[in-house]
Structure 1
Amino acid sequence: MSKLIKTFVEQVVESPHSVYTKMDSIYLVNRVLALVGEEGADRETAATDLIDLKDELVALAVENGRCGALFEERDCLGAELMNVITPPPSVVNERFWTIYAEQPEQAVADFYDLSQKNDYIKLDAIAKNIAFETPTDYGNLQITINLSKPEKDPKAIAAAKLLKQSSYPLDQLAMENEGYQGRLDHPARANHRIIRVDLGEEQWGFQYSPYAYFNEHCIFLNTEHVPMVISRTTFEQLLELVEIFPGYFAGSNADLPIVGGSILTHNHYQGGRHTFPMEMAELDHQFTFAGYEDITAGIVKWPMSVLRLTGADKTRLVDLADKIRLAWSGYSDPDLDIIAKTGDEPHHTVTPIARRRGQLFELDLVLRDNHTSDDHPDGVYHPHKDVQHIKKENIGLIEVMGLAILPPRLKEELAEVEKYLLGQDNQLADYHKDWADRIKATHPDLTADTVTTIVQEAVGQVFARVLEDAGVYKSDEAGQAGFMRFVESIGVTG
């Protein structure tokens, strides 16, 4: 056992990321005392991990009345405590680019390590997620039930309503989040750091996602608050990012409602070191676009409508990608219910994803259409009503690539489905009953040992259907013929 505050300060000084030395120990003790209070400052602890020590200090602060008991209040204090091992932005950036000049992958690895060690990436929360894979006709799809983000306490919601409304920072992607203390209605960011990156004539930021959905899940954000727009510049920047960050993919949500992401008001991309099912999918049809014989092109065997372009010359890839984007923006096929515009309202855009394969660059363009109809008021190419009991939210970049981010309600709801299938007392949600009955009919011999696997496989099959719903050109003969008509309208040589 050792003294709590003394051990915390020792860990701060010993951290390879900290700017403090042993000479700063007394100063650090006093700064921590100012945050958590002096009562109980000499208590002992068995913890040695810095984040565990931080949690104990937060609990002490609550006892001492220095911090409220709500999650949001404790999180703000926790971020402030972890700020002591987090160098200022200027130091973080100077270290990153100095190391990058000799060892790019090491620079990225060090920044990722800092973002974990200072508790900006919420590893304990992420570990709560339920994750599994399911075999489908399109390969193994990846499923995550997202349990990492804490649900809002009703008391916190009520307290936040009493606060004076603030528009600072403008959103959770704004540069002004770096070092922001946080409040009941905005997350703590005292320990948040952003690497500055020049993309063409624009300055962007590189940061990690605090509640990551996959390995090294990162965000690239425009340092200016400008809306998302898919353009030629988008393709240029995505290809540049996968060159700057070895081993990372970079992709963008679409820029239209229904098919776009949750934050359309601030231009940003996502990336990381993860292999998605779509990346592993092979080409179903291969051809060459006229005038672009140096680029391999084809339709990906995938439930959504994906054109894959592969080549060594980034500029040539950008030229072809933008030609396809512009062609798609005005292309309609009424027989297949593909509508480019309603009046002046555009319906067509793309979800682009870039990656490297050795010395080659690869760009996937996922065709998107966001028009609605009387039968499908949520979107013709959006999850249809019969699958919304599992997934009704927008199909964004991550889902497009084959990783389902499912709502936390499903943890309890699927447990009730399992009880229903086993003939046990249950509280099955009405909207799951038809689906559960189909599972029961196809698996009459399921047991307590197999029911979880069977239900998870059924969830995966629903997600495959979700992606099929979002696919503009279906996998049937008519759909694939229509896809080739679009391709041929651009011009192919074989």
Structure 2
Amino acid sequence: MIYHYLTGLIQKAVEVELIEPSDTIYVRNQVMNLLNLESFPENVEALEDDSIPNLLEKIIGYAVDHCVIEDNFDDKEILTANIMNCFVARPSVVNGLFNEKYKQSPEAATSYFYILSKNSNYIQMNRIEKNIHFKADTAYGELDITINLSKPEKDPEQIKREKELKKDVEYPACVLCPENEGYAGRIGYPARANHRIVQVPLVGENWYLQYSPYVYYNEHSIVLAEEHRDMKINKAAFERLVTFTEKFPHYFIGSNADLPIVGGSILSHDHYQAGHYEFAMTNAADTFTFSLGKYNAVSASVLKWPLSVIRLKSNLKKELLQAGDHILQAWKMYSDPLADVKAFTGDTPHNTVTPIARLRDGLYELDLVLRNNRTSEEHPLGIFHPHADVHHIKKENIGLIEVMGLAVLPARLKEELHEIKQFLLESPCDVAAYHQDWASELKQNYGTLSDEKLVDEILKKELGNKFARVLEDASVFKDKAAFQRFIETLNE
């Protein structure tokens, strides 16, 4: 069967224009070598029109069954990436095609690169399709809810193997470094043989665009610095974000905050996230507007959003950046005991922002989400972090994606929500202890239910409300008066 699978994979690669028909013999020989195949029969046909990810899974199954590789996560990932690397052009060719497409339009360039990243199996579409995704109507608009099932769970044997065989290697320095491009991978470090990045210079520096292997929204991309350096939110970062939107006006771009607790999972490499998607926050209405003193060309408003967000708009890039930096510097030094905000503990800073930039209706927009990472005895994980009573839904950091209104919730919820559903239907169930209060509250609010579809809709709605609560916990200003006290300092 392996010959039929390989023939099908090559035919599919030609069909999606990963390779040309004249490349087929070369590619076949390269993959045969990886699979320890010494010859290939004549007149082999593909058995069916299957997808590249499905055909890859069958080929990897053959490799395990015939002892080409061991039956473990790392070996399978490395072989999968190496096989697809035979089909993907070298970085210089990819960059050249990207730039040619860019001459047509920025959309043509990103569309080409996104499709390439999916067809090369760098974006793991088979796994991503396992995610549960829906929109939930809330007081803040339709929030996106994703239960993340795409990242495979490592079994105990795999974890044990990693501990035994993991090498003390510091190359690449992290998973976001440009040196990951084409890297074969190793035990405990991801395979990146089929990974490609494109150069996107920003404000006199070398930066690169790639797509996330586990996309959470359309064209979910990562924009990374060439230099391995810590993330830093400052005026230069704002300028890079806005400059990126000039190059790719159909994309938003934002950055995680640069402090622990309120930052993302990787603070050791300067990077941003971008994409072709409208989050609920994008279309949030203004709660109120305010003036910014000498920055007359910049309009400022506070958004109707669960977090504390200032939106700046201007047709003048320089003034927008100056206004953004003015707010950032003021916020970094700001304390308000009434709001539980403290800028420093000793020399340790607590205040920073999560910035998001976009171009809309001919204006530059810069959203500054005010963040504070201070902890207390009552809230040891963070005062402005999901509080204990919502940890049964979301305990992890609130990063850029969540800030904009997309919940990335743990895989455990798939089964746990099923048990809550059975509880509401008064069927046999095993509701986790940490969900008991919520499940009882739902039953009290909705009474006896018998319609399964209705229960599904109720759980979606209530999960959206829980996520809104999670975001409200992360807000530094819980009322308008507290926000106005800070705004007053901006105009002093």
TM-score range with shorter-chain normalisation?
over 0.9
Deviations 1:117-154 (A, max 9, x none): 11111111111111112121111111110001111122
Is the contact made by 2:172 and 2:180 (CA closer than 8 Å) also made in structure 1? yes
Number of the residue aligned with 1:129: 131
- 2:29 alignment partner in structure 1: 30
Structure 1 residue runs of 5 or longer lacking an equivalent are none
Q: Deviations over 1:337-360 (max 9, x none)?
A: 111111111110000000110211
The offset of 1:56, in angstroms, is 2.5
Aligned to 1:450: 454
Alpha carbons 1:3, 1:44 under 8 Å: kept = yes
CA–CA separation in structure 2 for the residues paired with 1:41 and 1:165: 40
Q: Which amino acid aligns with 1:417?
A: I
Displacement of 1:73 in angstroms is 1.5
Gaps of 5+ in 2: none
Q: Aligned partners of 1:488, 1:412: CA distance in 2, in Å?
A: 49
Paired residues of 1:370 and 1:381 also in contact (CA < 8 A): yes
Helix, strand or coil at the partner of 1:258: coil
| Cα distance change, pair 71–45 in 1 and its aligned pair in 2 (3 A) | farther
Aligned runs of 1:26-105 on 2, under 5 Å?
26-38=25-37, 42=41, 45-48=46-49, 49-105=51-107
1:311 and 2:314 matched: yes
Q: Which amino acid aligns with 2:401?
A: I
Matching residue of 1:116: 118
Q: Distance in 2 between matches of 1:40 and 1:64?
A: 16
Within 5 Å, give how 1:107-256 maps onto structure 2: 107-163=109-165, 164-256=167-259
Does structure 2 conserve the Cα–Cα contact (< 8 Å) formed by 1:332 and 1:339? yes
- CA change 1:45–1:56 in 2 (3 A) is farther
After superposition, give the CA deviation of every residue in 1:374-415 in whole Å (9 maximum; x if it has no partner). 111111101110011100100110111111100101111111
SS at match of 2:150: coil
SS in 2 for 1:465: helix
Secondary structure of 1:57 counterpart: helix
Indicate the SS of the match to 1:37.
Answer: coil
**Alpha carbons of 1:6 and 1:450: their partners in 2 closer, same or farther (altered >3 Å)?**
closer
1:388 is aligned to 2:387: no
- Which residue number in structure 2 is paired with residue 9 of structure 1? 10
Aligned partners of 1:305 and 1:366 also within 8 Å? yes
Deviation of 1:165 after TM superposition, in Å, equals 2.5
Residue of structure 2 in register with 1:459 after alignment:
463
Rounded to whole Å, the distance in 2 between the matches of 1:99 and 1:469 is 44
Q: Which residue number in structure 1 is paired with residue 434 of structure 2?
A: 431
Following superposition, the deviation at residue 15 of structure 1 comes to 4.5
**Aligned equivalents of 1:406 and 1:173: distance in 2?**
23
User: How far does residue 462 in structure 1 lie from its aligned partner after superposition?
Assistant: 0.9
Q: Distance in 2 between matches of 1:51 and 1:423?
A: 41
Q: Secondary structure at the match of 2:200?
A: strand
1:212 deviates by 0.6
Q: Secondary structure at the match of 1:199?
A: coil
Give, as a single letter, the amino acid of the residue that structure 1 aligns with 2:31: V
**What is the CA distance between 1:466 and its match in structure 2?**
0.7
Helix, strand or coil: the match of 2:175? coil
Deviation at 1:200, TM superposition (A): 1.1
Deviation at 1:39, TM superposition (A): 7.8
- For the residue of structure 2 that corresponds to 1:230, the secondary structure is coil
How far apart, in 2, do the equivalents of 1:130 and 1:6 lie? 33
Contact 1:156 1:184 in 2 (8 A): no
Letter in 1 for 2:289: Q
Secondary structure in 2 matching 1:85:
coil
**1:490 equivalent in alignment to 2:490:** yes
Pairs within 5 Å for 1:319-334: 319-334=322-337
1:255 counterpart letter in structure 2: D
Q: Compute the displacement of 1:423 (Å).
A: 1.9
Deviations 1:40-85 (A, max 9, x none): 9557642333333333222222222112222321121111111122
Q: Is the 8 A contact 1:134 1:140 kept in 2?
A: yes
Please name the residue that 2:359 is paired with. 356
TM-score, normalization by structure 2: 0.95
1:480 aligns to 2:484 (yes or no): no
What residue identity is the alignment partner of 1:488?
Answer: E
Match of 1:404, SS state, is: strand
Q: 1:354 to 1:166 in 2, by over 3 A?
A: same
Distance apart, 1:14 and its partner CA: 5.2
Instruction: Tell me if structure 2 keeps the 8 A contact 1:37–1:64.
Output: no
Q: 2:379 matched to which residue of 1?
A: 376
Which of 336, 340, 354 does residue 337 from structure 1 map onto?
Answer: 340
> For the residues of structure 2 that align with 1:190 and 1:359, how far apart are their CA atoms?
40
> Does structure 2 conserve the Cα–Cα contact (< 8 Å) formed by 1:314 and 1:361?
yes
In structure 2, distance between residues paired with 1:50 and 1:297: 48
Q: TM-score, normalised by structure 1?
A: 0.95
2:404 to 401, 421, 424: 401
- State the secondary structure of the residue aligned to 1:378: coil
- Residue identity matched to 1:480: K
Alignment RMSD (CA, Å): 1.8
Partner secondary structure for residue 137 of structure 2:
strand
Cα drift, residue 3 of structure 1: 3.4
Return the alpha-carbon distance in structure 2 between the equivalents of residues 165 and 402 of structure 1: 38
1:220 partner amino acid: V
Identity of matched residues, %: 48
Task: Give the letter for the 1:353 counterpart.
Answer: I
Comparing 388-397 and 30-39, the one that deviates more: 30-39
